[in-house]
Amino acid sequence: MTTRYGGNHLDFQGGEFNGPFTVNAGYHDHGPAPTALDALPAPAVGFTGREDELRTLLDALDPRASSEPEMVLVAALSGLGGIGKTALAVEAAHEACGKGWFPGGTLFLDLHGYDDDPVSGEQALEALLRALGVEPEHIPVRADERAALYRSVLAERGRERGAVLICADNASSPEQVRPLLPGDVRHRLLVTSRSKLPQLGARLLPLDELTPQEAYELLERALRIADPADSRVVDETGPAAELAAFCGHLPLALQIAAALLVLDRDKPVAELAAELSEFHDRLVHLDDGERSVRAAFDLSYRRLPPDQARLLRLLSLAPGAEVTTEVVTALTGADTPPIRTLDALARAHLVERGSGRGRWRLHDLVRAFGVGVVAGDVGLREEGEAARQRMLEFYCRWADAADDRLQWLPGKPEPERFSDREEALAWFDGERAGLVAAVSWGKEERFADAAGRLAACLGVYLHWRRYFDDLITVCRAARETAHHTGDNVREAIAWNNLGGALQAAGLAEEAIEAHTRARDLYQAVGDRHREASAWNNLGGALRATGLVEEAIEAHTRARDLYQAAGDRRSEAIAWNNVGRALGQAGLAEEAIEALTRARDLYQAARHPHAEAVTWNNLGTVLRNTGRTEEAIEAHGRALEIYQQFEDWYRAGTTLQNLAFAHKDAHRPAEARAHYLQAADAYTRANAPTEAAAARTAANEILTP
């Protein structure tokens, strides 16, 4: 006897039954296993910005391009922890689905790539097969069989329903992702990772921090979502921009900052910005109890091999926003540049390539993280101090060599390290930010000597390039270091240099005070030669404030001290300044005599650049006395030398003096031409204000 129910049956054939019997039978019609093909998380609340990145990502996901030669099956979105990769991926996935690109559904899987127990490729396949409706007992044990079944099920899904989008979030290695590649070209795989994954043959989309405007909008939107009446960001535009900058325009940090403001409705934005302004404590504040920037970075740091972890720590200690490969090598103490290690950190988005090849930088918050790691361990602090000492000595050697080249005069021994001024200036230009920042290390006793030596090497360069703010910073740092260590001579030198920097920046009254402090310190230690320098510089500051009689006296004191010491070159400097002061006082003949003495001394000392200074000053006095043609000749001699030295600021000044002289001679066309040449020279010298004034003067001249 056989009883059938649909395709199932109860077979009693061959059974022996004695008397009546009852059978309880139940029929179970098994439907298809449930699927999870609409598994996208909700879009991030308050998502803002990223318009260009979103457009690029959608272009890569578009399944309509499946027949194109540059067809994209895999898009890998990578970036620093907290940069907003998942939020952008989810936003793009929702928009793509809204366009109807993936009628077959979406699969979303967090691979937990940076957790202690990341999801393996086999585990990921099992999860995706279940999401696709495969019964657990039908999922193969072997990884290759799982991958084959996964591709087959996806292909069938594609034929029946259309393209599927698979989102693999938070991957840490190609091994996690490679088994998830679909075989059907209709489907797309979107991967997010803190590391670039070039091994996948994917369209690589690195993600940077937000723009300042996008960061501002994120803060504003987050506060408005919590309370539509919260106008603190709009009311405090400046502090909000500062807050965004202190957050490094990193979405995670900005979201935490917004949460802190939401939790404390009475807290001004400026107050939170002030709390974050302290670099060493920044990551302490960027924690809202649930999210932490430090914890996010720590996940990446703990996965680094020892050599990469060490290099990241040392890079966080480097001064300046960027460092060159040579500086990195000095930090590590290695004989060869650690290029492979740098490249590995760049792939992990923990190190970024800087403004040019061979230059590297850290995100501000990554730097703060690295500094915190070092500060928390005695052994790492010792390692870091040794690295900083090596880097300072490297800077001192190279800056000293570059300074020697800038101050070299014909007839003197040729400096070895730099072949010409241009090469020395280029090195200084590339390292300027780091050099200036490293001088401040002199506050720490261990680095005081090297930082002081470094500061002494930067004055000529910074003045030449007219980086007066940097020069003032360096001089003040050197002064504080010398005062802290009780070195009166170095403190006096620093005061004197600071006065020169202040005067160059147009702060003559502050310069008078600085040079006076220098003079008094030199007198106290009995250093008559350096006292002469302070007198000379003091005279220049006095002239700048109109105290001409006092200036003449100061320059004369300097001249007499130099004569007594037999220093003819410095004596020439003093004669030149005496001549300028006499000319300013209206004593033209005495001024011409003094300037002629200075010129002759400079010629005898074979110091052409200083000779040009005197020629230019002499031309000015000659013009003021009506000797116009002689003035033009003197300025022309000065201009020729300045151009040879590529001293474009002084060349601009001289060209302007030539314009004055030609105006006096009633030659407007020549005057206008020299004004325009002066504007060009000032532009090359990074003096835009002077350049604009020269162009205005040229435009005001009416030519026939």
Q: Give residue-wise pLDDT tens across range 16-73.
A: 545 443 333 333 333 344 556 777 888 888 788 899 999 999 999 988 765 555 567 8
pLDDT of residue 68: 57
What confidence tens digit (pLDDT) does each residue in 309-324 have? 999 999 999 998 899 9
- Whether 364 is in a domain gets the answer yes
Instruction: State the CATH number of the domain containing residue 336.
Output: 1.10.10.10
Residues 237 and 357 occupy one common structural domain: no
- Whether 368 is in a domain gets the answer yes
Residues 102 and 179 occupy one common structural domain: yes
Burial of 136 (0-12, 13-18, 19+ CB in 10 A): exposed
Residues 254 and 321 occupy one common structural domain: no
- Whether 8 is in a domain gets the answer no
pLDDT of residue 9: 41
Domain boundary among 268, 291, 314: 291
pLDDT of residue 640: 93
Residues 70 and 129 occupy one common structural domain: yes
Residues 181 and 238 occupy one common structural domain: no
Q: State which amino acid sits at residue 128.
A: L
Residues 183 and 321 occupy one common structural domain: no
Number of domains within the chain: 4
Burial of 160 (0-12, 13-18, 19+ CB in 10 A): exposed
- Whether 226 is in a domain gets the answer yes
Residues 79 and 131 occupy one common structural domain: yes
Domain boundary among 291, 312, 339: 291
What parts of the chain have a pLDDT lower than 70?
1-36, 65-71, 702-704
Residue 284: which domain range?
212-291
Whole-prediction pTM value? 0.79
Residues 186 and 253 occupy one common structural domain: no
Burial of 408 (0-12, 13-18, 19+ CB in 10 A): middle
Instruction: State the CATH number of the domain containing residue 666.
Output: 1.25.40.10
**Residue where the block lists tokens 């807050």:** 243
pLDDT of residue 384: 96
Residues 78 and 201 occupy one common structural domain: yes
Q: CA triplet 606, 607, 610: central angle to 5 degrees?
A: 150
- Whether 99 is in a domain gets the answer yes
Torsion of CA 243, 247, 248, 252, to 10 degrees: -140
Among 177, 239, 219, 223, which residue's Cα sits nearest to residue 202?
177
- Whether 259 is in a domain gets the answer yes
pLDDT of residue 2: 40
- Whether 550 is in a domain gets the answer no
Residues 80 and 140 occupy one common structural domain: yes
Residues 72 and 168 occupy one common structural domain: yes
Among 505, 502, 504, 506, which residue's Cα sits nearest to residue 516?
502
Residues 197 and 250 occupy one common structural domain: no
- Whether 612 is in a domain gets the answer yes
Domain boundary among 325, 355, 376: 376
Instruction: State the CATH number of the domain containing residue 170.
Output: 3.40.50.300
pLDDT of residue 69: 53
